[in-house]
Chain A
């Protein structure tokens, strides 16, 4: 196990170098000059040249990349061309928000998908199974921004139960638990519904598969309580692919928050990357992409480790 973890961890920087190189090349190949965007048309050539020099944009592409990579190794991700803030500062502000939103979305997905998936598997072809199927189809079909608007209309506008905005505000951070939690509820549901559908369907099929195994018949024959059979013998085994998928989806959710962030005014990573792409803010694009890629990689490693923990047959 230790050697496996070490091998996987050694791969991480290599993958990140490849990701960063590709990001670097794509940003440079895309038409658009961040200095022009920043300064507009009514500026002097000297001002543009000074800014290019400041951000090393006057150097050759290989030089730019090597300089950037060298700083990254020392923990410096550069400075935003548009915002003038260090990328690490932006990350420090936005990464926790994105992680919290992704965690909230995943919490919603787990809370719904585990009971629903289990119930649907245990009661195949019953109304609960049809409900599960209908929910997963709807979850796949409804885009998160559309669902977000429906939820806003119902829970914020009509019922006035939940706020539309508020994540990351001083008011939220200085209030009590409910003040802190409530702005997350609608965005988390809108963000997590697709993952709920994915996980519910996966758990249902996995449970059905496990329930048909011989050892399940043995467990029941031993006279174990039905709940014990389901939770200890069936669910634990069915959770193996589920946990793997949940970990991967968590990494994925960090990167797909952008529309939710836009609608709910969440100051997370997605909206920062979107603005950076629009404004060709190279340091932010590169820095944030690197961090998102790192999260995805670590989520995958975590999934593999959980896989081994849940299934003793698996050895690395």
Chain B
């Protein structure tokens, strides 16, 4: 549930491109010029990764770079307060769960759709969620699956009946699934045109979209008083991270996302720019195909041995240049049920323990094919991990594949092991656990009735305190069973002109609201 694959975002790097980037980073960094004069400016130039933005409609799957734009055109029903770790009202003023299968949502009044498409009402929510359900959209499986029926109760109240009790409704359904479209605009424009130039209710409205550039203009009717601060935002999709960063250093841009971590240290030394590096809601992890009972790793002791053999701190240092946090579990900071990044396995690994577990399992050593995509950082990470597990007698035969080939093996369970990274989209532990560990949700073939019971129970429990305890059990069981081995949470990084004020960094890489940012 709730991931955006960082892979399919057009960020794929060819070997040639990677080499170019490597050479480029060595040549280029540390030469930033003085930032442009800030006085009087009310425009912002943002460089994001990827080759193109693609769809900008929330009812059709979008890439991360599309999300970066989309979430400045649309507001959600709820927003996440990252500091307080809470779900806060946005377009939904309040919500209640009068019985286990009913959610009543009271909407904010006076919110207008851009470009004269009228007021945001309950009918828009009903239309949006029904459109998702009827078109079997990408969010049905991730956020809207609990919805049985949805209806308007007056102009500003929505009543949702769920198929089952769903404790994560505010975070998952109203959060990730809570971006609404204008029923009137969508009907008049059609799904196709709406996805190219959507009509939103957020701080900015689309002015133009051309190739790898999108221009947003201030929404004059925005419901938050005094916002947005900027009159205009120009987004440019620049696939090469070195080019993107260098364009910032040369004042061709003011704000960039996703710099290469290896280049961040050099930028930090440049007083003209500010680096935001926030522990992110993204993992790197190993996954086993547990539908292969003959494989040595089918024995959980072997999987535990692998987890003990991994020096996660070395991964953070060597692959992410310190711009990540070592973790051994699926609940990142900011989520309900978060306890600590490392709960059971030592940060630097424990080879002695790993070897003991291998001996206990009666496995002397074996070869296994491990696949990963052509993402540069994963390729390097897998080489490092292979060196680590070789010390306990396991030989990783590494296979790097382009995203299409990789997904073909991974999603069809034609693999032994994978190294993958994922961005989590819904701020609820259900999103980080159910799909990865439930027998009906996992690509790894992990099938444990006790885990299924725990996951289903936590999903349907409505008492937050009880849910938290249930997720602690789920995490502890995951750490013991190791169907997935987590390596680290990678940071969400932005670099911006030092004269920019008011930006609130978030751990979520596509949820970067720019309504409060201004030139200081």
Q: Is A263 a contact of B17 with CB atoms below 8 Å?
A: yes
Residues of B within 8 A of A122 (CB): none
A interface footprint on B2-32 (CB within 8 Å = 1, 0 otherwise): 1111001010101011011001100110010
Residues of B within 8 A of A44 (CB): 136, 140-141, 145
Q: A37-B403, A42-B2, A152-B28 are in contact. Are A279 and B243 (CB under 8 A)?
A: no
Q: Is A170 a contact of B246 with CB atoms below 8 Å?
A: no
Q: Is A84 a contact of B55 with CB atoms below 8 Å?
A: yes
The winner among A37, A83, A152 for most chain B CB atoms within 10 A is A83
Closest to B66 in A: A83
Residues of B within 8 A of A42 (CB): 1-3, 141-142, 435, 441
Bound-state CA distance A254–B195 (Å) is 29
Cβ 8 A contact of B404, one of A49, A160, A168, A278: A278
Q: Is B252 a contact of A262 with CB atoms below 8 Å?
A: no
Q: Does B208 contact A (CB under 8 A)?
A: yes
Q: Is B252 a contact of A165 with CB atoms below 8 Å?
A: yes
Q: Is B52 a contact of A83 with CB atoms below 8 Å?
A: yes
Interface size, B (range): 35 or more
Q: Does B370 contact A (CB under 8 A)?
A: no
Bound-state CA distance A271–B240 (Å) is 11
Residues of B within 8 A of A157 (CB): 27-28, 31, 246, 250
Cβ 8 A contact of B33, one of A148, A160, A272, A275: A160
Cβ 8 A contact of A263, one of B57, B211, B243: B243
Interface residues of A in 33-58 (CB under 8 A from B): 33-34, 36-44, 46-47, 49-50
Q: Is A40 a contact of B5 with CB atoms below 8 Å?
A: yes
Q: Does B362 contact A (CB under 8 A)?
A: no
Q: A36-B407, A37-B403, A153-B28 are in contact. Are A275 and B51 (CB under 8 A)?
A: yes
Closest to A158 in B: B31
Q: Is B408 a contact of A156 with CB atoms below 8 Å?
A: no
Q: Is B403 a contact of A279 with CB atoms below 8 Å?
A: yes
Q: Is A274 a contact of B51 with CB atoms below 8 Å?
A: yes
Q: Is A278 a contact of B213 with CB atoms below 8 Å?
A: no
Q: Does A145 contact B (CB under 8 A)?
A: yes
Cβ 8 A contact of A149, one of B12, B20, B55: B20
Q: Does A192 contact B (CB under 8 A)?
A: no
A267 → B minimal CB distance (Å): 3
A308 → B minimal CB distance (Å): 38
Q: Is A265 a contact of B212 with CB atoms below 8 Å?
A: yes
Residues of A within 8 A of B93 (CB): none
Q: Does B168 contact A (CB under 8 A)?
A: no
Q: Is A271 a contact of B136 with CB atoms below 8 Å?
A: no
Q: Does B481 contact A (CB under 8 A)?
A: no
A210 → B minimal CB distance (Å): 39
Q: Does A146 contact B (CB under 8 A)?
A: yes
Residues of A within 8 A of B20 (CB): 145-146, 148-149, 259, 262-263
Q: Is A31 a contact of B405 with CB atoms below 8 Å?
A: yes
Interface residues of B in 133-156 (CB under 8 A from A): 135-138, 140-142, 145
Bound-state CA distance A259–B244 (Å) is 15
Bound-state CA distance A271–B52 (Å) is 9
B17 → A minimal CB distance (Å): 5
A interface footprint on B399-416 (CB within 8 Å = 1, 0 otherwise): 000111101111110000
Q: Is B404 a contact of A32 with CB atoms below 8 Å?
A: yes
B interface footprint on A273-316 (CB within 8 Å = 1, 0 otherwise): 01101111000000000000000000000000000000000000
Q: Is A47 a contact of B138 with CB atoms below 8 Å?
A: yes
Cβ 8 A contact of A169, one of B3, B136, B145, B213: B213
Residues of A within 8 A of B243 (CB): 164-165, 263-265
The winner among B1, B5, B57 for most chain A CB atoms within 10 A is B5
Closest to B19 in A: A145
Q: Does B61 contact A (CB under 8 A)?
A: yes
Q: Is B55 a contact of A32 with CB atoms below 8 Å?
A: no
Q: Does B454 contact A (CB under 8 A)?
A: no
The winner among A42, A156, A158, A164 for most chain B CB atoms within 10 A is A42
Residues of B within 8 A of A171 (CB): 234
A179 → B minimal CB distance (Å): 12
29 A–B contacts from the bound complex (CB under 8 Å): A30-B405, A32-B405, A32-B408, A36-B411, A40-B3, A40-B138, A41-B3, A41-B410, A41-B411, A44-B140, A44-B145, A79-B192, A83-B52, A83-B55, A85-B195, A149-B20, A157-B27, A157-B28, A165-B236, A165-B243, A168-B213, A170-B208, A258-B14, A265-B212, A265-B236, A265-B247, A267-B51, A271-B51, A279-B404
Chain A positions within 8 Å of B, measured between CB atoms, are 30-34, 36-44, 46-47, 49-50, 79-80, 82-86, 89, 93-94, 97, 143, 145-146, 148-149, 152-153, 156-158, 160, 163-166, 168-171, 258-259, 262-265, 267, 271-272, 274-275, 277-280
Q: A30-B405, A42-B1, A156-B246 are in contact. List 18 more A-B contacts (CB 8 A).
A: A38-B138, A40-B4, A42-B3, A42-B435, A44-B136, A47-B138, A47-B141, A82-B63, A85-B195, A86-B192, A146-B23, A149-B20, A164-B246, A165-B236, A169-B236, A271-B51, A272-B52, A277-B402
